[in-house]
Structure 1
Amino acid sequence: MDDIIRKLTRKHKTSCPFELANALGIHIRYTDLGKSTKGLYYRKLRRRFIVIHNQLSPEWQRFVCAHELGHDRLHKGINRFFLEEHSYFMPGKLERQANRFAILLLTSGTMIEQEETIHDYCRRNGIPQEMHPFFQP
Structure 2
Amino acid sequence: MDELINNLIKKHKTNCPFELASALGIHIRFMNLGTGTKGLYYRKLRRRFIVIHNELPVEWQRFVCAHELGHDRLHKGINRFFLEESSYFSPGKLERQANVFAVKLLSIGSNPEQEESCKSYYLRIGIPPEVQFLLEE
Identical residues among aligned pairs (%): 70
5+ residue gaps, structure 2, are 82-89
Shift of 1:91: 7.2
Q: Which residue of 2 aligns with 1:123?
A: 123
Shift >4 Å, 4+ stretches = none
Give the aligned length: 128
Mapped to 2, the partners of 1:91 and 1:128 lie a distance apart of 17
Mapped to 2, the partners of 1:91 and 1:115 lie a distance apart of 30
TM-score after normalising by structure 1: 0.87
5+ residue gaps, structure 1, are 82-89
Q: Which residue of 2 aligns with 1:55?
A: 55
Mapped to 1, the partners of 2:93 and 2:116 lie a distance apart of 30
Mapped to 1, the partners of 2:96 and 2:66 lie a distance apart of 13
Q: How does 1:1-137 map to 2 (within 5 A)?
A: 1-79=1-79, 92-135=92-135
Deviation per CA, 1:96-126: give whole Å up to 9, x if none: 1101100000101111111211111111111
1:100 maps to a residue whose letter is V
Deviation per CA, 1:15-42: give whole Å up to 9, x if none: 0000000110100000010001000000
Shift of 1:92: 1.3
